[in-house]
Amino acid sequence: MRTALLRCPYSLNPKVNLYKIPVSRDEVMYENLNFIRFLAQTQRLDYNWLDYYNGNKQLASYVVTEIPKIPVFTTYNEPINNYACIYKMFNQGPIEGTRNNTILVLASHLMRMGIPSDLAKQLMLIWNNNSLKEQMVIERVEQVYKKKYKYGCKNKLMRQNCSTRCIHYQKHKLYDEAPSIDDIINLAKQRDFIKELKEGIDLGRTVGAPDFIVTRGEILTLIGVTKAGKSTLMKNFILGVDFKDNNNFIEKNRRRTLYYTAEQSADYFILVCAQILEGCTRGYAFEHKNELLDKWYHVLSNIMPIDIMPDMKELREQINTYNPELIVLDTLDHFCDNPYNEHLGIKQTMIELQKITAETGVIVYIVSQPRRLDSIENDIKLFSGKGSGSIENQSRKVLGLSAPNENGIRKFLFLANSYGSLPNHTYNIVMQDNMRFKLVGEE
């Protein structure tokens, strides 16, 4: 590491036994070196400074006191969980005592991501913000690219900035030993639980039920009989339809969504969503599809329907690619990949989904069929889901939907809420011609 010494005014240079003194412009221009040396034999504390030598903040307006913000034109979520440690180190900027090592780690990440060295240098200079000398930053980046430095998750800096929600957290043993209780308490102090609750999806509000909010990292399962309208109900959820005030939307409930469906093609799915948003009949939606798709593009563009069910590996990859806030699996039967033992397949799937939500913080909505007996009797309970208890065990919240009666009325039930109170009403809802659900009563 290079060092530089800034000598203070009036201080002594012991090598030549001379002081750092003030001199006038005329003395510099017209006197010789020996005369200046003669003056420097004392501190020259009696030197009469002229007024124009003393600054009066004439250049204060040019001093950069903060990094200029880049304008933002649309709202989006940052990829904070792709490489949580790298994201955090880039965001927090240079910290004295770790700057050199941080440059090496960040430059190594850029190199491994295929970023050209010239761009890496520019990015690191922006990050540095004149904290270290420009030459030093460039030399560190060149050092990384020349010697091919690589750092893993056990690197001290990366461990200090790690997050359990990082998508790479599960791939390795992060700790050589278990974290202490002090570490866990500090983690809890840093986490803003109130903010997470406020930013959650308030599904209870759709029917006026209190305290039924889905937060990051939770699984919600909707259990409903065949042809009850489960898929349409899910579309109403993700579009923010208000069942009580059917002419309005709860825009706060909308999220960037990956919707896996094996029952509808992706293009038809999007058209149905446009129909729900417009509040029109199917015939009108078909006739004016281009107009509706353009009109509601700002909402539809946050929903990615995929009409092929992935396996677990593909699901993880697509979470990494699309960085969704919400995933919908419609239905669970189509997603399970164990054709020989349905219950075991559902159990394995639910456990794996729970791991994914814990690692990434993504919310998962699951559509599930009930057991055959409950389906025949049209009696949906908490334990109606398939899979020998796996659904209710792994789901933090469970909803139920019965088949419609002769008047088209369905019973909408809140069956489980692990982290809040459970609404004790049964809500009667109907599906209208515009595909929106409407609340018509409570029991």
* Model pLDDT for residues 241-257, shown as the tens digit of each residue: 999 999 899 999 999 99
Interval 419-431 mean pLDDT: 89
Residue 26 confidence (pLDDT) above 70: yes
pLDDT for residue 297: 95
Q: What is the DSSP letter of 12?
A: E
What angle (nearest 5°) sits at the alpha carbon of residue 311, between those of residues 307 and 316? 100
Tell me which amino acid residue 14 is. Answer: P
pLDDT at residue number 54: 67
Higher-confidence residue of 173 and 20: namely 20
Report helix, strand or coil for 335.
helix
Q: Give pLDDT tens digits for 188-202.
A: 888 888 888 888 999
319 CB-near residues (< 8 Å, 6+ apart)? 167, 258, 327, 356, 360, 362
The pTM score is 0.65
Reading the block at residue 318, the tokens are 């697509």
Contacts of 433 (CB under 8 A, 6+ apart): 281, 282
Give residue 176's pLDDT: 44
Provide the pLDDT confidence category of residue 313 given band limits of 50, 70 and 90.
confident
Count Cα neighbours of 47 within 13 Å in the Cβ-side half-sphere.
18
- For residue 56, the model assigns a pLDDT of 74
Please determine, for residue 304, whether its predicted confidence score (pLDDT) is greater than 80: yes
Q: 399 pairs with which residues across the strands?
A: 222, 414
High-pLDDT (> 70) share of the chain, %: 90
pLDDT at residue 81 in the model: 77
2: confidence class by pLDDT, cuts 50, 70, 90: low
Q: Mind listing the pLDDT tens digit for each residue in 349-400? A: 888 999 889 888 899 999 998 887 777 778 888 887 776 577 888 899 999 9
What homologous superfamily does CATH list for 197-442?
P-loop containing nucleotide triphosphate hydrolases (3.40.50.300)
Q: What is the pLDDT of residue 194?
A: 87
Alpha carbon dihedral 334, 340, 342, 347, in 10-degree steps, equals -100
Q: What is the pLDDT of residues 122-133, one digit of tens each?
A: 999 999 988 889
Task: Supply the angle between the helices 99-112 and 84-92 in degrees, to the nearest 10.
Answer: 130
Element (H, E) at 138: helix 134-147
In the chain, where are the structural domains located? 1-53, 84-190, 197-442
Average pLDDT, the chain: 86
Q: What is the C-alpha separation between 308 and 436, in angstroms, rounded?
A: 25
Please report which confidence band the pLDDT of residue 28 belongs to, taking 50, 70 and 90 as the band edges.
confident
Q: Express each pLDDT in 57-70 by its tens digit.
A: 777 777 766 655 66
Q: What is the pLDDT of residue 175?
A: 47
Q: Higher model confidence: residue 177 or residue 142?
A: 142
pLDDT at 279: 95
The predicted pLDDT at position 371 comes to 80
Average pLDDT of the segment spanning 297-301 = 94
Q: Which tens digit of pLDDT belongs to each residue from 177-187?
A: 455 687 778 87
Residue ranges in 166-300 assigned as alpha helix (H): 181-190, 193-198, 230-239, 266-278, 282-287, 289-295, 297-300
